[in-house]
Structure 1
Amino acid sequence: MTALPRPEIVSETFGDPADPAILLIMGAMASMLWWPEAFCRQLAGHGRFVVRYDNRDTGQSTKYRPGTPPYAFEDMVDDAIRVLDDHNIARAHVVGMSMGGMIAQIVALKYPTRVRALTVISRSPLGVDTSGLPGTSQAYKEHSAEGADVDWSDRDQVLRYMVKDARALASSRHSFDKERARAAIEEDYDRSGGLASATNHFLLKGGPERRIKDLAVPLLVIHGVADPIFPIEHGEALADAVPGARLLRIEGGGHELHRNDWPQIIEAIAAHR
C-alpha cells in the first residue's frame, strides 16, 4: 500500500514561544476556530504559549473525499505531535475537547515524553468500562439523526442544521446567542470551504487499546454538568480513573465552551501543571 503524503496541518500561535506551551485540540468536524481567538489570547495572557490547529478534514488543513477517509484515528493523534514539531515544542500541556479529548488522551499515552500535563474537556475516559453510565440524551440522539438527511454541499441547509446543533449542545444556565452561534458557524464554513469532508471524522477506525489508568502526567478534567452527549458521570469516571486528577464541574455547562464560563476554564487550565 502506498503511504499517504503527509497532510498539511494549519496552526496558529498566541503568546511568547519562551513560555510553557499549551496545545489545543478540538473535536469532530470542528476547526481551530472553535477555540476562539479571544479565548486563546486570554489563556496566553497567563504566561502560556498557546497553539491551536485545524484537524485534517477541517479548516484549511488537508481534506479528503467525503465518505472515504484514507486515514485512521491514530493518524490524527500523530498530527498533534507533528504540530508540536512544527513549532519546535519539546513538551506541552495538551488540552482536548470532545473528540479532541480522546485524541489528547491517546497523545499523552502514546507519546508520554512530549506531554507535561493533560486536560480533557467533555469526553469519556479511555479504556474504562462506561456501559453502566448514562448515555447521550434522547433529545440529542434525535437531533443527531437528522444529520443523515443534511446535504452537506448546501450551505444554507448546513448552517441551519449546525445552528440547531449548537443550540442542542448549549448551556442550560446561560442564554443561547443564536446570532453569535450562526456567525461563528458561517465563519468556519466559509474558511473551510464547506464542512462535507469533516463528516469523515465519524467514519474513522480506532487504534490499539489504551487505558487512561496508565497516564503518567497530571490530569485535569473539565466537564459540563448538563452535557447532553457525555453526561457528567463520564467526567467523574475519567477523574476517578487517575490518582490525583482534578475535576472541574461547570454548573449548567453543556457540550461547549460558553463565553460566560471562560474565566474559570481558562484559570483552571493555566494553573494546571
Structure 2
Amino acid sequence: MAEHVVEADGVTLCTESFGEPSDPPVLLIMGLGASMLWWEEGFCRMLADGGRFVIRYDHRDTGRSVTYEPGRPGYTGADLVGDAARVLDAHGLPAAHVVGVSAGGALAQLLALHFADRVLSLVLISTSSAVPVCRELPSPTEEFMRFVSDAHVDWSDGDSVIDYQVGYARVLAGGRRPFDEAAARSLVRRDVERARDFTAARNHDSLPDGELPPAPLSSIAAPTLVIHGTADPMFPLRHGEALVEQIPEGGLLVLEDAGHGVDRADWATIVPAILEHTAAGRAR
C-alpha cells in the first residue's frame, strides 16, 4: 500500500491501492469536498482481504491531488467523472467494479452512462439519482438544513474548519446511533493537515455540471447494488428506493438507523455485500 501521484491528461491525481493487482479491481469514489481518507484504511483493507484490488483517490481540490484557486476551479462535474476513468487508466485497468458514496455515487452513475465499458458493476451508497427524475423525492431533514444554514466557519482557520466538519459529520450520522466524536475529529484533522490547500475543497460547492447525461438511468446495464440508511438526513431512504426503480439490474440493501456515509458500525454488513456483488459470477 502506498500513495501514488499520477499524471493523466495533464491532471495530477493522488491514488492509493490495497491488495493484489491480479484480483478483481474495485474503484472507490468519495463524495464531493472529501478526500480519499473518508474511505477509511480499515474498510479498504477488509475489501482487499476479501480478494479485491482496491483503489481510492483524491478528487481535484482535495488531499494531494491538484488544487485550484478557491472560487476559480476551472473544471466541471463532468471532469470529475472523467477523473475516475483517468485513475483506471493510471492503473492500467480497462474496467473496474465502482463503488460511490454520496455525490460519489452520482459520479459513479454518470461514469456508467458516459463510459459504460469501464464499469463492471455499481455499488451506490447514500446517494440519489444523477439525472432528473419525474417524481417528487423527500427533501433533507430540518436538522440538516438548519445546520447548513446556521453553521459558521472561518475557512482561513484550520481549527474552525475542523470544528465545522466534525459538526457536519455528527449531523450526517443521523442521530439514531452514538456518535464517535473522537474518531471523527481525528479523521477530519488528518484530512485538513494532509491537504495541499484545505480551503480549495469549497470549489466543489459551485461546480457547473458540464455535459448532460447521454441516457436515462434505465440504460445502465451494470449490475447495481444500492445501499441506504434509514436515518440518512441528506437523502432520505426514498432516494435509494427510487434508484432501484430506475436501474434495471438494481437491488437494495437497507441499513437500519444508519445515516449518510459509510459508518464503521456497518462495515461488517457493507463489505460482505460488496464482495458478493463484485464476485466474478456477477461481473459482465
Secondary structure at the aligned position of 1:238 is classed as helix
Alignment equivalent of 1:180, drawn from 160, 180, 183: 183
Matches of 2:206 and 2:134 in 1, distance apart? 21
State how 1:38-77 maps to structure 2 within 5 Å.
38-77=42-81
1: CA distance, partners of 2:166 / 2:29: 22
1:132-164 CA-to-partner distances (Å, cap 9, x unmatched) read 1211111111111235x4221111111111111
Cα shift at 1:118: 0.7
The total of aligned residue pairs comes to: 269
C-alpha contact 1:130 1:234 (8 A) present in aligned 2: no
Q: Match of 1:164?
A: 167
Of 266, 273, 278 in structure 2, the residue corresponding to residue 268 of structure 1 is 273
Give 3-state SS (helix, strand or coil) of 2:182's partner: helix
**Counterpart pick for 2:119 among 98, 115, 120:** 115
**Letter matched to residue 190 of structure 1:** E
Q: Which amino acid aligns with 2:238?
A: E
Match of 1:204 among 207, 211, 219: 207
Give the 3-state SS of the residue equivalent to 2:150 in structure 1.
Answer: helix
Percent of aligned positions that are identical:
47
Distance 1:194 1:86 in 2: 24
Listed as ranges, the matches of 1:1-273 within 5 Å are 6-129=10-133, 132-147=136-151, 149-210=152-213, 211-272=216-277, 273=282
- Cα offsets for 1:80-128 (capped at 9, x unmatched): 1110011111110011111111111001111111111011111111324
Amino acid at match of 2:33: M
Deviation at 1:171, TM superposition (A): 4.3
Q: Show structure 1 runs of 4+ deviating over 4 A.
A: none
Distance 1:8 1:161 in 2: 28
Write the distance in 1 (CA, Å) between the matches of 2:73 and 2:233: 27
Residues 11, 54 of structure 1: 8 Å contact kept:
yes
Q: Is the 8 A contact 2:19 2:53 kept in 1?
A: yes
The TM-score with structure 2 as length reference comes to: 0.91
CA RMSD of aligned residues (A): 1.5
Letter of the 1:165 counterpart: Y
Residue 11 of structure 2: SS of its match in structure 1? coil
TM-score normalised by structure 1 residue count: 0.95
Partner of 2:198: helix, strand, or coil? coil
How far 1:131 moved relative to its partner? Answer: 5.2
- Gaps in structure 1 of 5+ consecutive residues: none
Question: In the alignment, residue 129 of structure 1 is paired with which amino acid?
Answer: V
Structure 2 stretches lacking a partner, 5+ long: 1-8
* CA-CA distance at 1:256 after TM superposition: 1.9
Which residue identity does 2:32 align to in structure 1? A
Q: Which moved more, 1:52-61 or 1:251-260?
A: 251-260
